[in-house]
Amino acid sequence: VNNAADMNVHPPRRPTMRDVASAAGVSLKTVSRVVNVEDGVSGELVARVERAVQALGYRPDERARNLRQGDARPASIGFAMVDVANPFFSAILRGLEAVAHEHDCLLLSGSSDGDPDRQDQLIESFISRRVDGLVVVPSGDQLGPIAAEMLHGTPVVFLDCEPREQQADIVRSDHFGGAIDITRHLLSRGHTKIGFLGDDPSIFSAGLRLDGFRKTIAEAGLRVQDDWILTGHFNPNEWRTKVTQWLEAVEERPTALVTAQNFVTIGAVQALHDLDLHHTTALVGFDDVPLSDVVEPGISVLPQQPGRLGRRAGKLLFQRLDGFDGPPVREIIESPIIERGSGEIAFTPG
């Protein structure tokens, strides 16, 4: 009782279940029962333990609990994405968060910045924390540590992509079909010189969108010109600069643009305005963008539904964690183009 000197050492030791037990004069197991609201403890002991918990400010250590519990109830899931600063991903994250919260489960997340190595690190850090499940929007087409982890029975939902040779649940948009729709939309307005601006094609969705573009251009009997294709991983301001430089330098300037992602769309619209080309150059983008109906002309887009993607992926994951054992689910979400003006600018010769 006279260890005041000890008690005042800087970070006062955090009370453990053992401390609560001795303070309440009961066994460890009794404290465990009370803390976990198991029944079969007399009212008096419950009260005594609860008083001790209060007095000491005891909080159970979830790591220790989880360590012994093994595969009781999902305690945490992990989400690996490209860049949380992109609203597309943060909206997915928000959807996942909501589902995880409903299941009283912690959500770990991180951005890979499109770097496959960084992604592998992320996934490994999730795995080393023994997450109960994973949702992944992969960078690159390597599965890295994911495949091995699936062998251990960890359910994985792939978002916005479709890994080869891997049986797993998938939720994604129709990138290929969407790119075809957008490209046809521009072709039907008379454009023959169409540029494509997008993420690095090593990202699954970006690659498929580029494929859809190429295929549609070729099918229209046009040639795909490589200097009309610009890809990379940039933020809106960087895209603005890139696109401006490109439009100024390109030998023959396209009369229409496909922008394959929200940051690209924002940068490209700004670049067109900077060069005063916004009323003559058609543009349709993937992803909706804030204020796109207020800009002149309005920005035509094929919107994704990131919040819905996130919630759906979360639902599927928890279904698996709940024991669902059916064949892999594969959901492909299509969306129609929203016409706001920029995509309906017709080609005018000369």
Partner DNA sequence: CTGAAAGCGCTTACAG
The residues binding DNA (CB under 7 A) are 14, 16-18, 26-30, 32-33, 35-36, 39-42, 44-45, 58-61, 64-65, 67-70, 72
Of 178, 265, 174, residue with least CA distance to 213: 178
H-type alpha helices, 156-293 = 175-187, 204-219, 236-249, 262-274
> Which of the listed partners (its own copies, DNA, none) does 241 bind, with a CB threshold of 5 to 8 Å by partner kind?
none
| Footprint (CB under 8 A) of its own copies, residues 181-200 | none
Give residues with Cβ within 8 angstroms of 320, minimum separation 6: 133, 155, 157, 169
Q: Judged by CB, which is closer to its own copies: 217, or 313?
A: 313
Give residues with Cβ within 8 angstroms of 161, minimum separation 6: 137, 138, 170, 172, 204, 205
Sole window of 44-52, 57-65, 196-204, 224-232 interacting with its own copies (rule: CB under 8 A): 57-65
Measured distance CA(168)–CA(146) in Å, rounded: 11
Render the burial of 33-48: b for 16+ CB within 10 Å, e for the rest. bbbeeeeebeeebbeb
| Footprint (CB under 8 A) of its own copies, residues 1-20 | 10-12, 14
300 forms part of the interface with its own copies (CB under 8 A): no
Name the minimum Å distance from CB 242 to its own copies: 16
Measured distance CA(129)–CA(339) in Å, rounded: 46
Measured distance CA(153)–CA(146) in Å, rounded: 11
Name the minimum Å distance from CB 3 to DNA: 16
| Assigned token pair, 174 | 């129709």
> Which of the listed partners (DNA, its own copies, none) does 93 bind, with a CB threshold of 5 to 8 Å by partner kind?
its own copies
Measured distance CA(321)–CA(102) in Å, rounded: 14
Among 307, 308, 319, 335, binds its own copies (CB under 8 A): 307
Q: Judged by CB, which is closer to DNA: 45, or 275?
A: 45
Of 171, 228, 239, 181, residue with least CA distance to 205: 171
Name the minimum Å distance from CB 31 to DNA: 7
Name the minimum Å distance from CB 49 to DNA: 9
* Separation in Å, CA 162 to CA 43, 158, 327, 329: 55, 7, 15, 12
259 forms part of the interface with its own copies (CB under 8 A): no
250 forms part of the interface with its own copies (CB under 8 A): no
Name the minimum Å distance from CB 271 to DNA: 52
Q: Find residue 259's DSSP bridge partners.
A: 197, 285
60 forms part of the interface with its own copies (CB under 8 A): yes
Sole window of 46-54, 176-184, 209-217, 283-291 interacting with its own copies (rule: CB under 8 A): 283-291
Among 28, 47, 55, 85, binds its own copies (CB under 8 A): 85
Q: 323-330: long-range contacts (C-beta < 8 A, 24 or more apart)?
A: 328/167, 328/168, 328/169, 328/170, 329/169, 329/170, 329/171, 330/162, 330/169, 330/170
The answer to whether 74 and 66 are in contact (CB under 8 A) is no
| Footprint (CB under 8 A) of its own copies, residues 96-125 | 97, 101, 106-111, 124-125
327 forms part of the interface with its own copies (CB under 8 A): no
> Which of the listed partners (its own copies, DNA, none) does 35 bind, with a CB threshold of 5 to 8 Å by partner kind?
DNA
Instruction: Give contact residues for its own copies (rule: CB under 8 A).
Output: 10-12, 14, 57, 59-64, 66-67, 83-85, 87, 89-91, 93-94, 97, 101, 106-111, 124-125, 127-130, 148, 151-153, 236, 266, 269-270, 273, 289-296, 307
